[in-house]
Amino acid sequence: MTLCEMISLVRFISNKSQRGNAYTPADFNLSLKDVNLKLLSEYLKGWSPGMPIPSEILKFVTHVPAGTLVTGVYTLPADFRILTDRTLACQISSKTRQVDLMPASEARILRAHGFRSLGHQPVGVIEGSTITVYPTNATELQLSYIRIPVTPIYDYYMDQYGTEVCMAASTTHALGTGEIGSLGQTSGTVSSLTVELEWDDYVHPQIAIRILEKLGVSLRESDIIQYSQLLKNDQ
């Protein structure tokens, strides 16, 4: 389901007038951003690193084969959500070593009292947006993580009659007399800012359900599919 189709479906079900903009593009984009993050959190609820990953979020698994460590510190990517495993790997003196993750307090004790050879059994600590590996001469951190899906964005322009016209991703439109771009442009060619959902199509009804819940409409997934067909027939 494209975002053009989804906003039409949401307005169709909630009986919001497209011309009246009772449910505006700005409202839709806020809903998309919120639901995009909350749906990921729902799939991760009760899940922990090392467990089988739900099929719906497998596509968001990202592998880092050689992350750069600066004096033992690796800065996590901006889209990082959670590690897929409890252990990582790094290079120490050209040898691959498994990194055991642990709380900072435990790592401090190991470092202070020499209970283990960190050169052979390195440890890692996650704090905020970084992972620190001890010993700090470790290089090329290897890890896998579940990333946050790219934030979806719906874009449009208003035609000369004041009707909202969806702009599909990667399209352009030469504004005619009386037409206005979503950023207030009144002339020239506008390029679509639309970013489609990264979720697989079979997850899209769940997104529509959660958006509609924000509008006070409670439906099941089967209802969404029926309404989607009704909208297609109506169009």
Where are the domains positioned within the chain? 3-44+150-234, 55-147
- Residue 27 is predicted with a pLDDT of 95
- Residue 86 is predicted with a pLDDT of 85
Mean pLDDT, rounded, for 207-212: 93
Q: Which helix (DSSP H) or strand (DSSP E) does residue 44 occupy?
A: helix 25-44
The dihedrals phi and psi of 55, each to the nearest 5 degrees, come to: -60, -30
- Residue 16 is predicted with a pLDDT of 59
Q: What is the pLDDT of residues 23-36, one digit of tens each?
A: 899 999 999 999 99
Rounded to an integer, what distance in angstroms lies between the CA atom of residue 98 and that of residue 83?
Answer: 15
- Residue 233 is predicted with a pLDDT of 62
DSSP β-bridge partners for residue 101: 124
Angle between helices 3-14 and 221-234 (to 10 degrees): 100
CB under 8 Å to 161, separation ≥6 — which residues?
none
How high does pLDDT run on average in the chain?
Answer: 91
Mean pLDDT, rounded, for 150-159: 98
Mean pLDDT, rounded, for 71-90: 95
Q: What is the pLDDT of residues 3-18, one digit of tens each?
A: 999 999 898 888 754 4
CB under 8 Å to 78, separation ≥6 — which residues?
none
- Residue 232 is predicted with a pLDDT of 66
What is the percentage of the chain residues whose pLDDT exceeds 70? 95
- Residue 231 is predicted with a pLDDT of 65
Q: Is the pLDDT of residue 172 over 60?
A: yes
Q: Are 127 and 74 in contact (CB under 8 A)?
A: no
- Beta pairing class for 139-147 and 80-83: antiparallel
Distances (CA, A) of 176 to 29, 158, 167, 188, 190: 25, 10, 15, 8, 11
- ∠ CA 132-133-136, nearest 5°, is 105
DSSP β-bridge partners for residue 18: none
